[in-house]
Structure 1
Amino acid sequence: MASSSGPALNEELLCSICLEVFTDPVTTPCGHNFCRTCLSKCWTNTQTCFCPFCNERFSKRPDLKITTTLREVVQHFKKLNLGESEVFCDFCGERKQKAVKSCLTCPSSYCVSHLELHLRVPRLKKHTLINAVENLEDYICQKLERPLEMFCRDDQTCVCLFCTEGEHRTHNTVPIEEDSREKKRNTEKEKSSSVELFTDLIRSIERCQSELLKMMEEQQKEAEKQAEDLIKELQQEITELKKKNTELEQLSHTDDHLHLIQMCSSLSSHPHTKNWTEIRIDSDVNVNFLKRALTQLRKTLHGTLNEKLSQTVDVTLDPDTANPYLILSDDGKQVSHGNIKQDVPKNLKRFYGWFCVLSKEGFS
């Protein structure tokens, strides 16, 4: 099952058929969301289409349209939950096992079996072990070839213990674990804020869908009432015309001249009738209304999403974190893709697998 940042958002973004995060989500007339492929497979080889969630049956197969707003929310959610790459043991044979620890002193990565010596032999117990990582050289001081165990907050860089006694002696240095925990707490707060935003957007979509379905029912009732009123009006005119026709039949057989004159006078004016060729009941009123409402909903939600996710903050980019393919401006305010890998110093903070760069300043 796909990972999630919180139980509320996890439930909102999971297809109830495959139990995975939505892929090309579509909405049934009853307002429930599913993966387009999952719902199509569910309706294969069946004459009656129904909602897999609430079992509501539909008189005809609905025309499934991808809910673009929900799809964009899912895409933003997936970006927040990218998986980490696996690290394998350096001492396994052909069938390499997944590494659980990396030794900065050796330096090597070990699976559970090959890590046993580091946990048993007194000399190896003094080595510095960390969670398994791919690029061990990024965790070793390039000057003194010692494990990077401290973080210098003044220079915003990782240093070894010997560095804290040398050029970083007067700087504010803390253990890497302490700085990492602080950054993790800040990251979790930002992720939690994003989860709440996406959850609110999902609920807004479902609420609007419910309101649209209710409006569609009201529109349908209004169209049906219009048709009933027109039928009654037409039946009334037919009754009046039949009455006039009966009077004319009687007139053709009368010999009473006075009565004849009176009846001719009453029948001299044609009855007022509606031009029924111009009457039209718009059967597409629901479809047109829905299209307009969905367009307005999409604009509203896009505006909310862009406003909350694209707030501009004046920051200065940190060159020590920039991916080697990225080029920063001299003032650190702009970044572009250089298409060529730059020759930059190795740094624990630098992004190598993703085209990313962090700012020097923090902000809420």
Structure 2
Amino acid sequence: MSSSSGPLNEELQCSICLDVFTDPVTTPCGHNFCRTCLNNCWTNTQTCCCPFCKESFSRRPDFKINTSLREVVQHFKKKLKRGRSEVFCDFCDGRKQKAVKSCLTCPSSYCETHLEPHHRVPRLKKHKLINVVENLEDYICQKHERPLELFCRDDQTCVCLSCTEGDHRTHNTVPIEEESRQKKVRV
């Protein structure tokens, strides 16, 4: 599974192997890694330190599988496989090709050929591309028809930029990626 599978994949990615976690373990500083990756990193070394933040540990920590994170990763992998096999390009005529990306701005899913303008045309380069999803409407604000890019911590829900100018004006909102990172550290 490559690291180009979108933002969620990046949140579930080991910073050593750059792939989705396999048997994730958590260091005392709260960072997560694949068990094998961290074992390999600490083999033949006197001092153990976190590969991400470089915090040193007085002794080599015992590893326990982070079962909550492992379940999230397994769910993500299943959903990713299902989504990839069932989502087709919205623009193919005749025989539909499998979609490789979904655009929240358009909102449409594209095969490699029809996605090409999003990589070339300056205006389209600014669009929010995500990993292919089956229910694209779940990622778009139903009220404003804009991408859900923020998380409202007060209401514990995803919101679009327009929402922050209205009902969520005084609320604590952060980018979804930031909230996802925070929740991953807490897991």
TM-score using structure 1 length = 0.29
Aligned residue number for residue 120 of structure 2:
120
Structure 1 or 2, whichever has the larger Rg, is: 1
Deviation at 1:8, TM superposition (A): 6.7
Unaligned 5+ segments in structure 2 are: 1-19, 24-33, 37-69
Name the CA shift for 1:182/1:94 in 2 (closer, same or farther; >3 Å). Answer: farther
1:4–1:81 CA contact under 8 A, matched in 2 = no
Unaligned 5+ segments in structure 1 are: 10-76, 190-364
5 Å-filtered alignment, 1:40-59, equals: none
Deviation at 1:151, TM superposition (A): 0.6
Name the CA shift for 1:143/1:113 in 2 (closer, same or farther; >3 Å). Answer: same
Q: Which amino acid aligns with 2:22?
A: S
Deviation at 1:106, TM superposition (A): 1.3
Name the CA shift for 1:121/1:153 in 2 (closer, same or farther; >3 Å). Answer: same
User: For residues 151 and 4 of structure 1, what CA distance do their matches in structure 2 show?
Assistant: 24
Aligned residue number for residue 274 of structure 1:
none
User: For residues 71 and 150 of structure 2, what CA distance do their matches in structure 1 show?
Assistant: 33
Q: Which amino acid aligns with 1:97?
A: Q
5 Å-filtered alignment, 1:197-212, equals: none
Name the CA shift for 1:152/1:5 in 2 (closer, same or farther; >3 Å). Answer: same
User: For residues 137 and 110 of structure 2, what CA distance do their matches in structure 1 show?
Assistant: 16
- Whether 1:5 aligns to 2:22 is yes
1:104–1:147 CA contact under 8 A, matched in 2 = yes
Name the CA shift for 1:98/1:174 in 2 (closer, same or farther; >3 Å). Answer: same
Q: Deviations over 1:27-47 (max 9, x none)?
A: xxxxxxxxxxxxxxxxxxxxx
SS in 1 for 2:179: helix
User: For residues 129 and 8 of structure 1, what CA distance do their matches in structure 2 show?
Assistant: 31
5 Å-filtered alignment, 1:94-243, equals: 94-186=94-186, 189=187
Deviation at 1:102, TM superposition (A): 1.0
User: For residues 4 and 122 of structure 1, what CA distance do their matches in structure 2 show?
Assistant: 34
User: For residues 93 and 142 of structure 1, what CA distance do their matches in structure 2 show?
Assistant: 28
Name the CA shift for 1:143/1:133 in 2 (closer, same or farther; >3 Å). Answer: same
Greater strand fraction, Structure 1 or Structure 2: 2
Aligned residue number for residue 81 of structure 1:
74
Q: Which amino acid aligns with 1:122?
A: P
Higher RCO (CA 8 Å, separation ≥ 6 residues): 2
1:5–1:81 CA contact under 8 A, matched in 2 = no
Q: Which amino acid aligns with 1:174?
A: V
Deviation at 1:163, TM superposition (A): 1.1
Name the CA shift for 1:78/1:185 in 2 (closer, same or farther; >3 Å). Answer: closer
Q: Deviations over 1:26-80 (max 9, x none)?
A: xxxxxxxxxxxxxxxxxxxxxxxxxxxxxxxxxxxxxxxxxxxxxxxxxxx9997
Q: Which amino acid aligns with 2:96?
A: K
SS in 1 for 2:163: helix
| Count of aligned positions | 118
Name the CA shift for 1:117/1:79 in 2 (closer, same or farther; >3 Å). Answer: closer
Deviation at 1:184, TM superposition (A): 3.6
User: For residues 4 and 170 of structure 1, what CA distance do their matches in structure 2 show?
Assistant: 37
Percent of matched pairs sharing the same residue: 71
5 Å-filtered alignment, 1:322-333, equals: none
Deviation at 1:113, TM superposition (A): 1.6
User: For residues 78 and 175 of structure 1, what CA distance do their matches in structure 2 show?
Assistant: 24
Q: Which amino acid aligns with 2:173?
A: T
Name the CA shift for 1:184/1:114 in 2 (closer, same or farther; >3 Å). Answer: farther
Name which of structure 1's ranges 167-176 and 119-128 shifts more when overlaid on structure 2: 119-128
User: For residues 72 and 21 of structure 2, what CA distance do their matches in structure 1 show?
Assistant: 11
SS in 2 for 1:151: strand
Greater helix fraction, Structure 1 or Structure 2: 1
SS in 2 for 1:174: strand
Deviation at 1:124, TM superposition (A): 1.8
User: For residues 105 and 121 of structure 2, what CA distance do their matches in structure 1 show?
Assistant: 14
